Amino acid sequence: MALVIKLSGRVFEDEELVYRYVEILKTIKEKICIVTGGGEIARRYINAARRGGASHTFQDLLGIYASRLNALLLISLLDDAYPEVPKSLEEVLRAWRHSRVVVTGGLQPGQSTATVAALVAEAVRASVLLNAANIDAVYTDDPRKNPAARRIAELKYGDLEKILNSSALPGGYELLDLWSLSILKRNCITTYIFDKNKPEYIAQVLRGENPGSRVTC
């Protein structure tokens, strides 16, 4: 079984959290591809570029470079990982052929790392995507703004699409964007969304539990 794990870039703002992820990841026996976000550093450089008048393409490339820094840190701490950060989907496939563990960051301007995770899951024919997110589950609305927002443990991709369409952009982006959804759906990949601050949830998902939300096709 092939697994894809998406780690929010925010994980890398807390060194101890990174080490805890490394411990969990070392216990996994399956083939895994980990996709890292860019986090705070990405945001800072993108802002500096935008304020200075840089194109969207370069803004996105800066986010990609930041996510690769996170990917390389993880590689350096995992003994088994492919020693390079792949720079395209073809390089992911090549690395995947040689290593049980592959870690990648962003791949191309104009796409979120959620979409990278979906594309990678499709490429390695993963049946499950674990999304360690900045939110602990899918809600009917943004729970930080709307106290009446209801948590949803089980949902279909169609349901999630509706929620993302109705909500404001930034909140939706943190989970999965529409493009990533369409890729996950066409491959019928099950996605688990859970709180990035609980690395132990990865083990729970592998045991069949659902610590956050599960999205199925």
Contact residues toward a copy of itself (CB under 8 A) are 15, 18-19, 22, 41, 45, 48-49, 51-59, 61-62, 65-66, 68-69, 72-73, 75-77, 82-84, 87-90, 93-94, 96-99, 107-111, 115, 118-119, 122-123, 125, 178-179, 183, 186-187
With beta carbons less than 8 A apart as the criterion, state whether 99 and 32 touch.
no
Q: Which one, 72 or 163, has the nearer CB to a copy of itself?
A: 72
Q: Closest distance between a copy of itself and the C-beta of residue 29, in Å? A: 19
- Is 198 buried (19+), middle (13-18) or exposed (0-12) by CB count in 10 A? middle
Query: From the CB of residue 179, how many other CB atoms can be counted at a distance below 10 Å?
Result: 15
Q: Which one, 108 or 190, has the nearer CB to a copy of itself?
A: 108
d(CA 163, CA 7): 22
With beta carbons less than 8 A apart as the criterion, state whether 130 and 202 touch.
yes
Q: Which one, 148 or 169, has the nearer CB to a copy of itself?
A: 169
Give the pair of three-digit tokens for residue 147: 């106290």
CA 216 to chain centre: 17
Q: Closest distance between a copy of itself and the C-beta of residue 70, in Å? A: 9
Q: Which one, 87 or 198, has the nearer CB to a copy of itself?
A: 87
Q: Closest distance between a copy of itself and the C-beta of residue 117, in Å? A: 12
Q: Which one, 75 or 176, has the nearer CB to a copy of itself?
A: 75
Question: What DSSP state is assigned to residue 79?
Answer: T
C-alpha closest to that of 167 among 140, 148, 191: 140
The C-alpha R_g of the chain, in whole angstroms, comes to: 16
Strand order in the sheet with 31-36: 101-104, 31-36, 2-7, 128-133, 190-195, 213-216, 154-156
Q: Which one, 140 or 187, has the nearer CB to a copy of itself?
A: 187
